[in-house]
Amino acid sequence: MADNVTSLFRTGAHSPSMAALARESGEAGPVDFCIPCNPYFPSPRMMDELTHRLRDIITYYPSSADTITAELCNLLQLPPQCVAMGNGSTELITWIDHLLVRESLAIPVPTFGRWTDQPLETGKRVDMFPLQESNGFALDPAQYIQFIRSRGSRAAVICNPNNPDGGFLPKQTILAFCDALADLDLIVIDESFLEFADAENEPSIVEEAVMRPNVIVLRSLGKNFGLHGVRFGYMVANPGLAGRIRSMLPKWNLNAFAETVVFMLKDYGAEYVESLHMVRRDRLDMARQLSTLPGLTVYPSQGNFLFVRLPVGAEGTVVRDRLLTEHRILVRECGNKIGSSSRFVRLVVRPQEDVRRLVIGLESVLYGTTTRRGAAVPELSQGAGYSSGTAAVDRLVGSTNGQGYPGLAGAANGMVQQPQPVPQQPQQLPQQPQPLVAAANGMVGQPQPLTAAQTRGTTGMPGGLTAIAAPGQPQGFPQQGFPQQPQAMPQPQPVPQQQPGGWPNTPGASNGAGWPAAGGVNRVG
């Protein structure tokens, strides 16, 4: 049974559904640290109402997408002409690619897989900008712009926060990026996880996007509302761009569950805002607990997930499979994400009691103990070799384009491989199963970097994929040559003015700020 369950992870680029795992295991689903949902919403009160209305929801036809979109726009105080709702953000990404991406698209990697895979499937060139592990996977916008110019990319994407690492750029930085590339066919800012950010009070560029000729903002509802299965998301752009996407969507592309939730939201704004508070609080606590594990690196995140580098010698697929079969915990191993490797896992923020269970499971799998007295984990400063995700991209690029990029792998690794110190009194370890870190410490030599096929999770690279290394070291932003002031742009179509006021007309109402009133939220952390 365990083999059947773990085999599900070797059939595609994405994790198997919870339904598939339940079918294969014959048990209730595991504790889910994989799917990035809000664990605190819908509230129990809202879930009870959905349950009570279930028969009508699944029996009757929904209203048209225009009706559901109008209600969402009323809540968010956005002009309906500037919004298109999709059956999940993936449907919108698909139509954005078909209609608005001509021959090439630039995207930092690692990132959400549909931004690399979708254009490749339609024969576009994907110019991948490798985020450097040595810089904590932080995106340098000035270097990214240089990359876009050097490649001649006609469309560019930034996920803010980025998935899987949670990297975040401030609003003014994003706007400067858009202004610097006003001549591109298209810029997409994917804000699918922005509701979980607390670095700024008003981080979204939705209001600014409707006034720009080539900018689309993508937003998720399923992730924010803890309802991935409902499949709904939306995009915001000037009326011309939004209208092109909307004209291609089926009249009933949104289901009755989506309609029901959208029309219920006006009664549950307070619960939703509180759920965001709780996720941000738990993110801090979860990062603190994971950081106490020897050899584990936790990267700063503004999403509802944490990007984690496993200790030297730990293989992500083995960690994932053992956590699932031995501890009923599901995590996202990132070896099949371009720009990452099996050394990394993404862990969704969950309540503290679940995190304690995760920490116990990781201690058992990595060190063979729940008291953290397993074999010592060598740190990078001690000369231990490791496979960096950026180095893997470098090798991938060299094999794909027929040329290498000297110095990128060395810059990412930042060291020369040296013999690793041998503990004087190695701890007696159990024979089955062997702790991963202890097993690595007992090997001769160092862990070897992944091949390009291992990085991608296939036997080869799809055609059309290209990437080059970012030149030099990360620089301050903006750099020389990066415009200090917004460039002049063609004037987009006039945006209909939204009437002031609107929902929620309750104490603490938005006063025109949209739902929920972000300015009234006391950000946690």
| Separation of alpha carbons 238 and 252, rounded Å | 23
| Separation of alpha carbons 467 and 405, rounded Å | 11
pLDDT at 282: 98
What HEC string does 45-85 produce? HHHHHHHHCHHHHHHCCCCCHHHHHHHHHHHHCCCHHHEEE
Helix (H, G, I), strand (E, B) or coil at 308: strand
192 burial class (0-12, 13-18, 19+ CB within 10 angstroms)? Answer: buried
Nearest alpha-carbon partner for 186 in 105, 260, 249: 105
Two tokens at 196? 């979980």
pLDDT at 229: 87
Two tokens at 236? 């915001």
90-143 pLDDT, tens digit per residue, is 999 999 999 999 999 999 999 999 999 999 999 999 999 999 999 999 999 999
User: Does an H or E element contain 467, and which?
Assistant: strand 465-467
| Separation of alpha carbons 297 and 275, rounded Å | 27
How is the chain split into domains, by residue range?
5-40+271-367, 45-268
Token pair 């060190």: residue: 367
Across-strand partners of 233?
A: 86, 220
| Separation of alpha carbons 17 and 5, rounded Å | 11
Q: What helix, strand, coil percent values describe the chain, rounded to 5?
A: 40, 10, 50
| Separation of alpha carbons 333 and 322, rounded Å | 12
481-505 pLDDT, tens digit per residue, is 343 333 443 444 555 444 444 333 3
45-268 topology per CATH: Aspartate Aminotransferase; domain 2 (3.40.640)
Count of CA atoms in the C-beta half-sphere (13 A) of 344: 29
The answer to whether 429 and 368 are in contact (CB under 8 A) is yes
Helix (H, G, I), strand (E, B) or coil at 123: coil
User: Does an H or E element contain 288, and which?
Assistant: helix 269-291
274 burial class (0-12, 13-18, 19+ CB within 10 angstroms)? Answer: middle
| Separation of alpha carbons 170 and 199, rounded Å | 8
pLDDT at 228: 85
pLDDT at 220: 92
The answer to whether 142 and 163 are in contact (CB under 8 A) is no
| Helix axis angle, 269-291 to 352-367, nearest 10° | 30
Q: In sequence order, which residues have a C-beta less than 8 Å from that of residue 48 and are 6 or more positions away?
A: none
The answer to whether 163 and 111 are in contact (CB under 8 A) is yes
Question: Which residues in the chain come in under a pLDDT of 70?
Answer: 1-28, 370-525
| Separation of alpha carbons 477 and 483, rounded Å | 10
pLDDT at 22: 63
The answer to whether 132 and 108 are in contact (CB under 8 A) is no
| The domain made up of 5-40+271-367 is a member of CATH 3.90.1150.10 | yes
Two tokens at 461? 């690279």
| Separation of alpha carbons 190 and 160, rounded Å | 6
Rg (CA), the chain: 23
The answer to whether 338 and 450 are in contact (CB under 8 A) is no
Q: Where are the strands (E) in 301-353, listed by range?
A: 305-309, 329-333, 344-348
Residue 483 zone, left/alpha/beta (φ > 0; ψ -120 to 50; rest):
beta
